[in-house]
Amino acid sequence: MRCLVFHRKIRPPELAEEMARRQKLLDEAPPRNKLASLFDVDNLKKSFRTTFKKRQFGVRPYVLLLVVIFVLEIFLIHGKGPTMFLFLR
């Protein structure tokens, strides 16, 4: 089993070069406004395209159902319910 060490002096040179290249790209990127930095439109388009694409054996409704269930679960976890449960307890 390999152990990954993240100390700068022990890193392989390829990794150090890759990290320097990525940092340079981040530094050169034009500044984005706050909304654009939180919400990537391209990612949203890709996710909708992937969710609604035609699938084998008619699985699309099940994928959509899973997405809806996940969204409802997130609303229940972070919504008013947990706070009210603790209040009533």
pTM: 0.46
What per-residue confidence (pLDDT) applies to 65?
95
Domain contains 72: yes
**Domain assignment of residue 4, yes or no:** no
- Where in the sequence is the domain holding 67, given as residue range(s)? 13-88
Summarize pLDDT for 57-85 with one digit per residue, the tens: 989 999 999 999 998 888 877 776 666 66
7 in a structural domain:
no
Average pLDDT, stretch 49-64?
Answer: 90
pLDDT digits (tens, 9 = 90+) for 1-36: 455 555 556 777 887 888 888 888 777 766 666 666
Q: How far apart are the first and last CA of the chain?
A: 48
Does 2 map to a domain? no
Q: Judge whether residue 37 has pLDDT over 70.
A: no
**pLDDT(52) > 80:** yes
1 located within any domain: no
Residue 8 lies in a domain: no
Domain contains 45: yes
Distance, CA of 45 to CA of 50 (rounded, Å): 9
